[in-house]
Structure 1
Amino acid sequence: MRIDVHAHLWTDGYLDLLDSYGRTDTATQRGTGAGATAQELEARFELNDSAAITHQILSISPQVPHFEERAHAVHAAAYANDLYAGVVADHPDRFSAFAALPLPHVDAALTELARALDDLDMAGAAVTTDVLGASLADPAFTSLFEELDRRHAVLYVHPSGHDAGTPLIADHHMRWMVGAPMEDTIAVMHLILAGIPSRYPNVRIINSHLGGALPMLLRRADDQYQWESPQTPDKPSAAARRMWYDTVSHGHLPAIRAAAETYGPDRLLLGTDFPYQNGDLLRRAVTSIHDALPGQDATTVLDRNATALLNKA
């Protein structure tokens, strides 16, 4: 079964709701063909079939319902999850979904997580690389990780589009070209340095975009963490291999090879980033795995790892 773990769906109704709560960046998601109309879904399914993609796990990120105003976060999360539950119910062979959580309100997030997993039968939960500027490793989120661990749940982490918190990205038109993979890198390292993968070994964490620059940096981290971050409980390379990484790389074969050699091909999951890789670019997201990796490794990445991780066998 070929599962794409990095795919999006947004409706104008959901984006309009976020706008009404003060978001100013929803234009990036509009008019991309990632809606839920019959025409959009038919085109998506035809495209997926052309790449032999059987199933997609939908995530609302980066337009997550993270708001300081609790009522806004709670309403937007419920809206997103009900939307996704309806789409999945209409197309169960084609879609599953990761739940949106009303963060930073952890008590509300735990309530919504229970509803999403127990009542809506969602595949896990999705968050962004930061929560309104706070690290995922912030102790404020401890009870969320404890519950995810208790449930053996999947947690999918996607860039927030917050420019990694620096004007050197924001002011130079690099939000998604450079900012997104930098956010991936930072978030994964925060998790590693805080010992999240070993403290919560049952949480199946999926990081986006091959973990950003992490394949290039793990040896450096291994050499330097003991003096720079001596409280780190595990060697970074060992902690990194306790997590998973989607293959969104824009078809860059050296990046795919580096990730496979760094983490092992068993830690890579097919991702397309639909709708931002569409048409030939989406098909390239699949063919690049074949082009980059030996045959058995490519098959493992494309057709086995996500099925096993998400219990879809």
Structure 2
Amino acid sequence: MRTDVHAHLWSEGYLRLLESYGRQEAAAHRGLGAGDSAQDLEARFAMNDAAGFDHQEAPDVVEKPTEAARRMWYDTVAHGHVPAVRAAAASYGADRLLLGTDFPYQSGHRLRRAVEFLEEALPPERAEGVLTAGTRLIRRREA
């Protein structure tokens, strides 16, 4: 079976933040097993593995979602929500994160916040790695 598997992390704090912006659908995400703990994420991958998902987006790549998740890159678009980035780093590894900004939808102080909050969420060397990951990937591809 081929599918595009998404493993969103919906922490309670992030859902409250969405609700504070008037997002009605935030309530629908509660209780769906998409919490921000490592156990929630592992359970989601195990459920996909058990359902027989053996292909991801690329039809020529045959691997389970659990395996694919460990080789993918994840952007840090979290709208300044520090716990979301910490959960992503704990779940996937900070070495699998790269800067995400939602530009042009976030600009000005919100764009700056997309960078600054990484420095609050992660130790300095990890934050620097996330901020430079995109450049390193491009340079590696060009080499």
Shorter-chain TM-score bucket reads 0.5 to 0.7
Structure 2 unmatched runs, 5+:
5-21, 55-61
Structure 1 unmatched runs, 5+:
1-134, 138-172, 183-212
Q: CA deviation at 1:298?
A: 0.4
Instruction: State whether structure 2 residue 133 is matched by structure 1 residue 311.
Output: no
Residue in 2 aligned with 1:220?
Answer: 43
SS in 2 for 1:271: coil
Bigger share in strand: 1
Deviation string 1:23-70 (CA, Å, 9 cap, x unpaired) is: xxxxxxxxxxxxxxxxxxxxxxxxxxxxxxxxxxxxxxxxxxxxxxxx
Summarize the Cα distance change of 1:214–1:263 in structure 2 as closer, same or farther, 3 Å threshold.
Answer: farther
Instruction: State whether structure 2 residue 59 is matched by structure 1 residue 230.
Output: no
Question: Which deviates further from its counterpart, 270-279 or 292-301?
Answer: 270-279
Structure-to-structure mapping, 1:186-197, within 5 angstroms: none
Q: Which amino acid in structure 2 is aligned with residue 259 of structure 1? A: A
Aligned-residue CA RMSD (Å): 3.1
Residue in 2 aligned with 1:293?
Answer: 122
CA contact (8 A) 1:249 1:256 kept: yes
CA contact (8 A) 2:77 2:101 kept: yes
SS in 1 for 2:88: helix
Q: CA deviation at 1:250?
A: 0.4
Residue in 2 aligned with 1:247?
Answer: 76
CA contact (8 A) 1:244 1:269 kept: yes
CA contact (8 A) 2:49 2:65 kept: no
SS in 1 for 2:79: coil
Structure having greater relative contact order (Cα 8 Å, sep ≥ 6): 2
Summarize the Cα distance change of 1:276–1:214 in structure 2 as closer, same or farther, 3 Å threshold.
Answer: farther
Runs of 4+ in 1 over 6 A off after TM superposition: none
Aligned equivalent of 1:258, options 59, 70, 87: 87
TM-score when scaled to structure 2?
0.61
Q: Which amino acid in structure 2 is aligned with residue 261 of structure 1? A: A
Give the aligned length. Answer: 108
Deviation string 1:173-201 (CA, Å, 9 cap, x unpaired) is: 859x86xxx8xxxxxxxxxxxxxxxxxxx
Q: CA deviation at 1:220?
A: 1.3
Identity percentage of aligned residues = 47
Structure-to-structure mapping, 1:1-313, within 5 angstroms: 137=4, 174=23, 217-227=40-50, 229-232=51-54, 234-303=63-132, 305-311=133-139
Q: Distance in 1 between matches of 2:92 and 2:81?
A: 17
CA contact (8 A) 1:270 1:286 kept: yes
Structure (1 or 2) with the larger CA radius of gyration: 1
Deviation string 1:121-161 (CA, Å, 9 cap, x unpaired) is: xxxxxxxxxxxxxx975xxxxxxxxxxxxxxxxxxxxxxxx
CA contact (8 A) 1:218 1:237 kept: no
SS in 1 for 2:129: helix
TM-score when scaled to structure 1?
0.30
